[in-house]
Amino acid sequence: MGSHQGSSPRLNLVMLGPPGAGKGTQAERISRTRQLPKISTGDILREAVHDRTSLGCAAKEEMEAGHLVSDDVMIGIVQERLERADARKGFVLDGFPRTIVQANALDRLVNGRGPLVVLDIVVPEEVLVRRLASRRICGDCGSNAAVDWLVACGKCGGKLVARVDDGVAIVRERLGVYQRQTKPLVEYYSGRSTFRQIDGNLPPDIVTGAIDAALAEAAQRGVHS
């Protein structure tokens, strides 16, 4: 597997894809096989709030007031995370950017760090609705269940339970919100040589293979573009 390991270029990766597309599972796999930090904005937000950083406190205030966390706060939190030592060789970003303002900021943050590769995992809506309506989470730690967690949570061993917020009407509404939010981002990135769309309506291992091929090609193009 690792013929190019020694000289492997940096991989700065953004994962786009609707809820239920399998984005989290694939991001975990890339993180593991390439030894890069998987940076989920949900996780780093919780961490910043827990550690009471100034940005974490600002985010907590916004969330408690029922607002979406502002672009400025999200950009600051991601910037802090990307400056840590483990992200020097690259990263896998899941959940950021969500807006064009955030995408512009990310371009500035990775300037000089190698190409930014963007993968958009595409799955038909009716498949997403079916997947999400049967999705499970850990009753203890709240983690979304990965495909290969059959009865217990792969993180803490807790029991898997059905998600209560995944009724069909709610799922369709969440997907509608995602599409409205993300369409401008796909348009922002789609003209780049390092942008790839991946068919996520396939078994996870086949999706992983398609991602590996896309990453190899996109990284090569990015280096030479």
Strand 38-40 to 116-122 pairing: unpaired
Predicted confidence (pLDDT) per residue in 4-30, tens digit: 444 456 889 999 998 889 998 899 999
Q: Say yes or no to pLDDT of 225 above 70.
A: no
pLDDT (0 to 100) of residue 164: 64
The contacts of residue 88 (CB under 8 Å, 6+ apart) are none
Residue 44 lies in a domain: yes
Q: Say yes or no to pLDDT of 156 above 90.
A: yes
Contact 185, 102 (CB under 8 A): no
pLDDT (0 to 100) of residue 166: 58
Structure tokens, 36: 């890069």
Contact 152, 159 (CB under 8 A): yes
Residue 4 lies in a domain: no
Who wins on pLDDT, 164 or 72?
Answer: 72
Residue 106 lies in a domain: yes
DSSP 22-81: SHHHHHHHHHHHHT--EEEHHHHHHHHHHTT-HHHHHHHHHHHTTPPPPHHHHHHHHHHH
Q: What is the mean pLDDT of residues 205-218?
A: 92
Residue 63 lies in a domain: yes
How many domains does the chain contain in total?
A: 1
Structure tokens, 21: 């597309």
What is the domain-level CATH number for residue 62?
Answer: 3.40.50.300
CB neighbourhood size of 137 (10 A)? 19
Q: Please, what is the angle between helix 41-50 and helix 54-64, to 10°?
A: 110
Confidence of residue 38 (pLDDT cuts 50, 70, 90): very high
Contact 1, 29 (CB under 8 A): no
Structural domain for 151, as ranges: 9-224
pLDDT (0 to 100) of residue 144: 79
Which residue, 123, 64, 113, is CA-closest to 89? 113
Who wins on pLDDT, 130 or 97?
Answer: 97
Strand, coil or helix: what is 181? helix
Q: Say yes or no to pLDDT of 196 above 90.
A: yes
Residue 214 lies in a domain: yes
Residue 203 lies in a domain: yes
Residue 3 lies in a domain: no
Residues annotated as catalytic (active site), given as ranges? 23, 98, 135, 163, 174
pLDDT (0 to 100) of residue 2: 40
Predicted confidence (pLDDT) per residue in 162-189, tens digit: 776 657 788 888 888 888 888 899 999 9
